[in-house]
Copies of this chain bind each other. A is one copy, B any other.
Amino acid sequence: MPRPGLTTASVTEAAAELVDEIGFEQLSMGVLAERLGVRTPSLYKHVAGQADLAHRIAVLTHHQFADAIRDAIQGRAGGEALAAGAQAMRKWVLEHPGRYTAGNAARASGPDDPLVAAVERVVASWAAMVRGYRLNPAQEIHALRMMRSALLGFATVEAAGGFQFDAAVDDSFTWMINFIDEGLRTIAAGP
Protein backbone atom coordinates (compact mmCIF):
# COMPACT_ATOMS: atom_id res chain seq x y z
CA MET A 1 0.00 0.00 0.00
CA PRO A 2 1.42 3.37 -1.05
CA ARG A 3 1.77 6.05 1.54
CA PRO A 4 -0.68 8.89 1.28
CA GLY A 5 2.19 11.29 1.85
CA LEU A 6 0.48 13.82 4.03
CA THR A 7 1.97 17.04 5.28
CA THR A 8 0.84 19.59 7.80
CA ALA A 9 -0.26 21.84 4.96
CA SER A 10 -2.18 19.19 3.09
CA VAL A 11 -3.93 18.04 6.25
CA THR A 12 -4.92 21.62 7.04
CA GLU A 13 -6.22 22.23 3.54
CA ALA A 14 -8.22 19.03 3.54
CA ALA A 15 -9.70 20.00 6.88
CA ALA A 16 -10.62 23.41 5.51
CA GLU A 17 -12.44 21.87 2.58
CA LEU A 18 -14.14 19.35 4.79
CA VAL A 19 -15.31 22.02 7.17
CA ASP A 20 -16.94 23.92 4.32
CA GLU A 21 -18.89 20.81 3.45
CA ILE A 22 -19.99 19.56 6.83
CA GLY A 23 -19.73 22.61 9.07
CA PHE A 24 -17.01 23.58 11.49
CA GLU A 25 -18.69 22.12 14.56
CA GLN A 26 -18.96 18.72 12.88
CA LEU A 27 -15.22 18.48 12.37
CA SER A 28 -13.66 15.55 14.17
CA MET A 29 -10.34 13.84 13.84
CA GLY A 30 -12.22 10.75 12.74
CA VAL A 31 -14.00 12.20 9.71
CA LEU A 32 -10.90 14.05 8.62
CA ALA A 33 -8.83 10.89 8.82
CA GLU A 34 -11.43 9.02 6.82
CA ARG A 35 -11.45 11.75 4.20
CA LEU A 36 -7.70 11.43 3.88
CA GLY A 37 -7.79 7.63 3.73
CA VAL A 38 -5.81 7.29 6.90
CA ARG A 39 -6.34 6.17 10.48
CA THR A 40 -7.12 8.77 13.11
CA PRO A 41 -3.87 8.63 15.12
CA SER A 42 -1.84 9.20 11.96
CA LEU A 43 -3.03 12.80 11.87
CA TYR A 44 -1.07 13.46 15.03
CA LYS A 45 2.11 13.12 13.03
CA HIS A 46 1.17 16.38 11.29
CA VAL A 47 -0.91 18.39 13.71
CA ALA A 48 -0.69 18.54 17.48
CA GLY A 49 -4.38 17.90 18.02
CA GLN A 50 -7.82 19.20 17.28
CA ALA A 51 -7.21 22.63 18.76
CA ASP A 52 -4.03 23.02 16.75
CA LEU A 53 -5.85 21.94 13.61
CA ALA A 54 -8.63 24.47 14.15
CA HIS A 55 -6.05 27.16 14.69
CA ARG A 56 -4.24 26.27 11.50
CA ILE A 57 -7.49 26.37 9.57
CA ALA A 58 -8.09 29.84 10.97
CA VAL A 59 -4.68 31.08 9.88
CA LEU A 60 -5.13 29.61 6.41
CA THR A 61 -8.55 31.20 6.23
CA HIS A 62 -7.32 34.68 6.99
CA HIS A 63 -4.60 34.42 4.39
CA GLN A 64 -6.98 33.25 1.69
CA PHE A 65 -9.48 35.86 2.73
CA ALA A 66 -6.88 38.59 2.50
CA ASP A 67 -5.82 37.32 -0.93
CA ALA A 68 -9.37 37.40 -2.20
CA ILE A 69 -9.87 41.00 -1.14
CA ARG A 70 -6.48 42.13 -2.40
CA ASP A 71 -7.11 40.58 -5.81
CA ALA A 72 -10.51 42.20 -6.01
CA ILE A 73 -9.34 45.73 -5.30
CA GLN A 74 -6.30 45.51 -7.59
CA GLY A 75 -6.24 48.62 -9.74
CA ARG A 76 -9.38 50.15 -8.31
CA ALA A 77 -9.86 53.04 -5.95
CA GLY A 78 -12.50 54.79 -3.90
CA GLY A 79 -16.03 53.54 -4.22
CA GLU A 80 -15.08 51.04 -6.87
CA ALA A 81 -12.51 49.44 -4.65
CA LEU A 82 -14.96 49.37 -1.78
CA ALA A 83 -17.66 47.73 -3.86
CA ALA A 84 -15.31 45.20 -5.43
CA GLY A 85 -13.63 44.30 -2.16
CA ALA A 86 -16.87 43.99 -0.28
CA GLN A 87 -18.51 41.85 -2.93
CA ALA A 88 -15.46 39.65 -3.15
CA MET A 89 -15.37 39.15 0.57
CA ARG A 90 -19.06 38.32 0.75
CA LYS A 91 -18.74 35.83 -2.09
CA TRP A 92 -15.77 34.23 -0.45
CA VAL A 93 -17.59 33.81 2.85
CA LEU A 94 -20.64 32.28 1.20
CA GLU A 95 -18.42 29.83 -0.62
CA HIS A 96 -16.43 28.94 2.49
CA PRO A 97 -18.80 29.07 5.42
CA GLY A 98 -17.01 26.47 7.52
CA ARG A 99 -13.63 28.11 7.14
CA TYR A 100 -15.13 31.47 7.94
CA THR A 101 -16.61 30.11 11.16
CA ALA A 102 -13.27 28.61 12.08
CA GLY A 103 -11.58 31.92 11.38
CA ASN A 104 -13.95 33.83 13.61
CA ALA A 105 -13.73 31.36 16.45
CA ALA A 106 -9.96 31.47 16.68
CA ARG A 107 -8.08 33.46 19.30
CA ALA A 108 -4.46 34.47 19.05
CA SER A 109 -2.31 33.02 21.79
CA GLY A 110 0.10 35.93 21.78
CA PRO A 111 1.76 38.63 19.68
CA ASP A 112 3.92 36.16 17.80
CA ASP A 113 1.05 33.87 16.93
CA PRO A 114 0.94 33.53 13.12
CA LEU A 115 -2.77 34.24 13.36
CA VAL A 116 -1.96 37.83 14.26
CA ALA A 117 0.00 38.37 11.07
CA ALA A 118 -2.76 36.75 9.04
CA VAL A 119 -5.43 38.95 10.56
CA GLU A 120 -3.28 41.99 9.96
CA ARG A 121 -3.13 41.15 6.29
CA VAL A 122 -6.93 41.23 6.18
CA VAL A 123 -7.08 44.49 8.04
CA ALA A 124 -4.45 45.90 5.70
CA SER A 125 -6.61 45.02 2.72
CA TRP A 126 -9.49 46.93 4.18
CA ALA A 127 -7.27 49.77 5.17
CA ALA A 128 -6.27 50.04 1.52
CA MET A 129 -9.92 50.43 0.62
CA VAL A 130 -10.50 53.16 3.17
CA ARG A 131 -7.34 55.00 2.29
CA GLY A 132 -8.77 55.77 -1.11
CA TYR A 133 -11.17 58.21 0.50
CA ARG A 134 -8.32 60.34 1.82
CA LEU A 135 -9.91 60.97 5.17
CA ASN A 136 -8.49 62.85 8.08
CA PRO A 137 -6.05 60.38 9.69
CA ALA A 138 -7.91 60.67 12.98
CA GLN A 139 -11.06 59.47 11.28
CA GLU A 140 -9.44 56.81 9.17
CA ILE A 141 -9.12 54.33 12.01
CA HIS A 142 -12.77 54.77 12.90
CA ALA A 143 -13.87 54.41 9.31
CA LEU A 144 -11.82 51.28 9.01
CA ARG A 145 -13.38 49.76 12.08
CA MET A 146 -16.85 50.74 10.96
CA MET A 147 -16.34 49.11 7.60
CA ARG A 148 -14.84 46.01 9.08
CA SER A 149 -17.70 45.69 11.55
CA ALA A 150 -20.39 46.20 8.95
CA LEU A 151 -18.93 43.74 6.46
CA LEU A 152 -18.10 41.09 9.00
CA GLY A 153 -21.45 41.51 10.65
CA PHE A 154 -23.33 41.20 7.40
CA ALA A 155 -21.45 38.12 6.37
CA THR A 156 -21.88 36.57 9.78
CA VAL A 157 -25.62 37.14 9.92
CA GLU A 158 -26.04 35.93 6.38
CA ALA A 159 -23.91 32.84 6.93
CA ALA A 160 -26.03 32.06 9.99
CA GLY A 161 -29.18 32.34 7.89
CA GLY A 162 -30.26 35.28 9.99
CA PHE A 163 -31.98 37.34 7.30
CA GLN A 164 -35.63 36.51 6.89
CA PHE A 165 -36.34 37.38 3.27
CA ASP A 166 -33.57 35.76 1.31
CA ALA A 167 -34.56 37.37 -1.94
CA ALA A 168 -33.52 40.90 -1.03
CA VAL A 169 -30.23 40.11 0.66
CA ASP A 170 -28.22 41.00 -2.44
CA ASP A 171 -29.95 44.35 -2.60
CA SER A 172 -29.36 44.95 1.08
CA PHE A 173 -25.67 44.34 0.64
CA THR A 174 -25.23 46.73 -2.25
CA TRP A 175 -27.40 49.25 -0.42
CA MET A 176 -25.08 49.00 2.57
CA ILE A 177 -22.01 49.47 0.42
CA ASN A 178 -23.55 52.53 -1.15
CA PHE A 179 -24.49 53.87 2.23
CA ILE A 180 -20.94 53.55 3.42
CA ASP A 181 -19.51 54.97 0.21
CA GLU A 182 -21.71 58.04 0.31
CA GLY A 183 -21.05 58.61 3.97
CA LEU A 184 -17.31 58.42 3.49
CA ARG A 185 -17.37 60.70 0.47
CA THR A 186 -19.39 63.24 2.43
CA ILE A 187 -16.86 63.17 5.22
CA ALA A 188 -13.97 63.45 2.81
CA ALA A 189 -15.55 66.44 1.13
CA GLY A 190 -16.54 68.06 4.41
CA PRO A 191 -14.66 70.55 6.62
Contact = CB atoms under 8 A, between A and B. Distances in A.
A159 B139 CA distance: 22
A38 to B, nearest CB: 27
A148 interface: yes
Interface stretch (A2-10, A64-72, A77-85, A175-183): A175-183
A179 B151 CA distance: 15
Q: How many copies does the complex hold?
A: 2
Contacts of A168: 141-142
| Of A119, A145, A146, most B-chain CB atoms within 10 Å | A145
A73 to B, nearest CB: 20
Contacts of A152: 153, 156-157
15 contacts: A141-B165, A141-B172, A142-B172, A143-B179, A145-B163, A146-B154, A146-B172, A146-B179, A148-B153, A149-B151, A149-B176, A152-B153, A153-B153, A153-B154, A153-B156
